[in-house]
Structure 1
Amino acid sequence: MTYQLLEASDLNELHELNLIPEVDQFNTMGIPDSIQVTKDLLDVKIKEHQKEDISKLTYSIRLTTSGEFIGIAGILFGQLKYKKAELWMKFNPKFWNQGYATETITRLLKSCFEEHQLHRVEAGCAVENHASKKVLEKCGFIIEGIQRKNLPLKSGWSDNYEFGILEEEWNK
């Protein structure tokens, strides 16, 4: 797979991803009303990459062989002195259960711990999102708690697993 910071040319594929009901099920963003809503979100993400002090990185993920867009993932950096970040991901369902999410989270962890010299990485998912829970546990994350009714999903308020992994727990 290839990982590249989101660009304006990703607009149509990103919009298509955001329109898929299965993708929206555990996502707090909701389905965009128009491609303009997606463009506005994309513009914000592109501007975040251009800041001198980058605090958010969002990547488009593509298959190496075909260049096909399969999803997005990101790193949200915390305050520098805490040396931590949060990871997130969103994939097209036709690419679920093929190891791509695990490969992506592993790659982002490598970046966090090796390139950015972080101490801790966090992630979260709705308690009903069994696939994401499985991916995070496979990548070495440990459930540290549950935030009750924390996620405003289309189906209502959802509890959220809080995961963490420390640098010394990460398998290099």
Structure 2
Amino acid sequence: MNRLNKNSLESLEYLKELCEKEIISWPIDFEFYQASKTQLEETLKYWFGNENWSSSGDSFIQFGKDASGSMFLLWFYPKLKTEPPVVFMDSEGDAYLVSSSITEFVKQMASGFLFFSGSWIEPNSKEKKDLNWTLLKKLVNEHFGIKHINPEELTKIAKLSHPSFSDWAESKI
């Protein structure tokens, strides 16, 4: 069952607010989006090519998408003892573990790097000008009481704390 604790709910609401105020906008390829349970189950059925993805008790909450329709989700797996990790399922059939929690994901988004194909990359000079990165960093750092975030390091920590999402997804296809 996918229940979110107070911290996850607060971080989701904060992420939604940052997007609505367009503090998070292009070139960050992310749109806050919450699919209904029925919509998400239908999408996952097509993504996996079957309904086997839920046979072991796994479930998801979608909270975002990119311009191609790829999904940012919270993954609830049977042995989960902490907040659900953030995973990314792209429109090309690849799946990635991104972050240990929605809170860590918001921090990653304010790091000054862009999420692309399972990695955090440095924006080019135009992308650096297209967004007020300084404001985004300042607001997120103040909100969470942090100074510096290495997004790749947070992804590495997530990979040590959770099962391989890529392997799990591949096993369900």
TM-score normalized by the length of structure 2: 0.31
- Structure with higher strand content: 1
Using CA pairs under 8 Å that are at least 6 residues apart, name the structure with larger relative contact order, 1 or 2.
2
